[in-house]
Structure 1
């Protein structure tokens, strides 16, 4: 990273819809993944915290968004993914990026990222950036199709289940999920080079109707794993246009928001993700 780089506190990463950001840049099957990181978030973080030729790691890489954006920017990348289905899409997306002129190289390992320091042991002390996001659970909003063009009729959901494998951390209750995520972060810390950066995108969630400060819990978990928070930024999920916000929330996000508001609860649809920037303790100065 160029130490003179100035990173804005709010990143305009939602100017285009997710499907538009991916169109032609990723293989079509990638849309099956229900919890993808926005490509614009990955590209802006990678551009801000690394230089061409440096190594980027994602311990829960899904369909390979971090890897694809890194290779397009001339960085090299390594990822792990627990779900074999998605782990197979990651190299397909990297190969697609290479066919479009991406100059970086990437590799993907299928397995439990709690063992990342062993599986990617040859990369110890080499990563300039670790970029990832914790799982939010086994179900997400997925994709929606209404029964008629006017929006009436039955609503069909698809691609809303992330995992059916009970070994996946997404199946665990929040305390166990955070414990496992802490093990992953500790392993990633062993891969970091001096002054390397860990960047985590995360937002609050609702569990049983109760709002949970997941970013705060991630910060505590990261600190216990030997990392120190240096910046807390906002990566926009909404667009900015003519001085206003363009809502990018899904149908089900808006539906849950409306239901809660009808009950008199002060609930809004998420318009951003927290972007947590951390370094190993002793490197943060």
Structure 2
């Protein structure tokens, strides 16, 4: 994997033609069990209650791959704050948002613990819904975020057994996520990335949900282009076999499914979809194909969230 992925598609695409799925890569991020990851990262007790959290190893891998020291990492729905902890530990600035008092308290405690352990970069947690990114409070962030790294959250309390709660399944998880992507797009700096981590979800009938297609569609509508599709392992690699790291709750759910006559496999990965600003991806693809592309400062960028941003040049 390269440190700075570029778009794999030639330009321009024929009218009406959709881009193919981005290239696939595998991250060996399941070598340690979840409890060990949280302990090694210095997360405070209670962080494991956030079952929709991005595992620290996955967050650390994404941050190391898509950012440089001193970059700003944003999680617009940060939960207990594992992304913020890993950003600070890696020498990046970190900003998280959450609308849940429970997660705000844990995320603040985790940021404080990371700073106490020697992380000197700035870390903050705002008690606000993701849509605050479209308000004046975010004005100073436009064009400054190096990486937006966030999880597709199933619900505020993130139940593991989705089959018992249809209204908290994949469809409701995806419903408000498109707005979050739209609000985050203006904040990315030139060359920045947005990465969405999604654990496998099942419909009430036990079938796996297709998360990739709607997520790519939502990101494309927000002005982002997919550049990489990754499998972040949550199972350990032992030679040529995988060692499951699933929780007791997940194992019990799988056992109940087998008893009911609908056997399901235990999960071994999270899916990570990585996007860039559409213009950045187009420029990279054009450069790779030797196609001239205008970069003059007087190009006017289409309005996003009701605001027109002149020029394509972003803060480096």
**TM-score band (shorter)?**
0.7 to 0.9
Correspondent of 1:26 among 43, 53, 67: 43
What is the Cα deviation at residue 196 of structure 1? Answer: 1.0
* Structure 1 residues 215 and 36: alpha-carbon distance in aligned structure 2, compared to 1, 3 A threshold: same
Worse overlay, 259-268 or 30-39: 259-268
Correspondent of 2:142 among 100, 116, 124: 124
Between the aligned partners of 1:263 and 1:40, the Cα distance in structure 2 is 34
Paired position in structure 1 for 2:234: 237
Does structure 1 residue 190 correspond to structure 2 residue 186? yes
Correspondent of 1:13 among 29, 34, 41: 29
Q: What secondary structure does 2:279 align onto?
A: coil
Between the aligned partners of 1:62 and 1:102, the Cα distance in structure 2 is 20
How do residues 247-258 of structure 1 correspond to structure 2 at under 5 angstroms? 247-258=244-255
Does structure 1 residue 141 correspond to structure 2 residue 160? yes
* Structure 1 residues 139 and 132: alpha-carbon distance in aligned structure 2, compared to 1, 3 A threshold: closer
Give me the TM-score of the superposition, normalised by structure 2: 0.75
What is the Cα deviation at residue 231 of structure 1? Answer: 0.6
Q: What secondary structure does 2:57 align onto?
A: helix
Correspondent of 2:273 among 261, 276, 283: 276
Paired position in structure 1 for 2:293: none
Does structure 1 residue 44 correspond to structure 2 residue 70? no
Q: What secondary structure does 1:270 align onto?
A: coil
5+ residue gaps in structure 1?
Answer: 143-159, 161-169
Q: What secondary structure does 1:197 align onto?
A: strand
Task: Work out whether residues 236 and 245 of structure 2, in 8 Å CA contact, stay in contact via their aligned partners in 1.
Answer: yes
Does structure 1 residue 93 correspond to structure 2 residue 106? no
Structural RMSD (CA)? 2.6
Correspondent of 1:226 among 223, 226, 245: 223
Task: Work out whether residues 152 and 198 of structure 2, in 8 Å CA contact, stay in contact via their aligned partners in 1.
Answer: yes
Bigger Rg, structure 1 or 2:
2
* Structure 1 residues 204 and 220: alpha-carbon distance in aligned structure 2, compared to 1, 3 A threshold: farther
Q: Which runs of 4+ in 1 moved over 6 A?
A: 170-173
* Structure 1 residues 70 and 19: alpha-carbon distance in aligned structure 2, compared to 1, 3 A threshold: same
Paired position in structure 2 for 1:217: 214
Task: Work out whether residues 74 and 147 of structure 2, in 8 Å CA contact, stay in contact via their aligned partners in 1.
Answer: yes
What is the Cα deviation at residue 50 of structure 1? Answer: 0.5
Q: Which deviations, in whole Å up to 9, do the C-alpha atoms of 1:155-205 show, x marking residues without a partner?
A: xxxxx9xxxxxxxxx977755543421111111111101121001111331
Q: Which deviations, in whole Å up to 9, do the C-alpha atoms of 1:203-243 show, x marking residues without a partner?
A: 33112124311232212211121111111010001011233
Q: Which deviations, in whole Å up to 9, do the C-alpha atoms of 1:119-171 show, x marking residues without a partner?
A: 322111100100001112344239xxxxxxxxxxxxxxxxx9xxxxxxxxx97
5+ residue gaps in structure 2?
Answer: 7-22, 285-316
* Structure 1 residues 139 and 30: alpha-carbon distance in aligned structure 2, compared to 1, 3 A threshold: closer
Task: Work out whether residues 115 and 184 of structure 1, in 8 Å CA contact, stay in contact via their aligned partners in 2.
Answer: no
Task: Work out whether residues 117 and 191 of structure 1, in 8 Å CA contact, stay in contact via their aligned partners in 2.
Answer: no
Between the aligned partners of 1:94 and 1:17, the Cα distance in structure 2 is 22
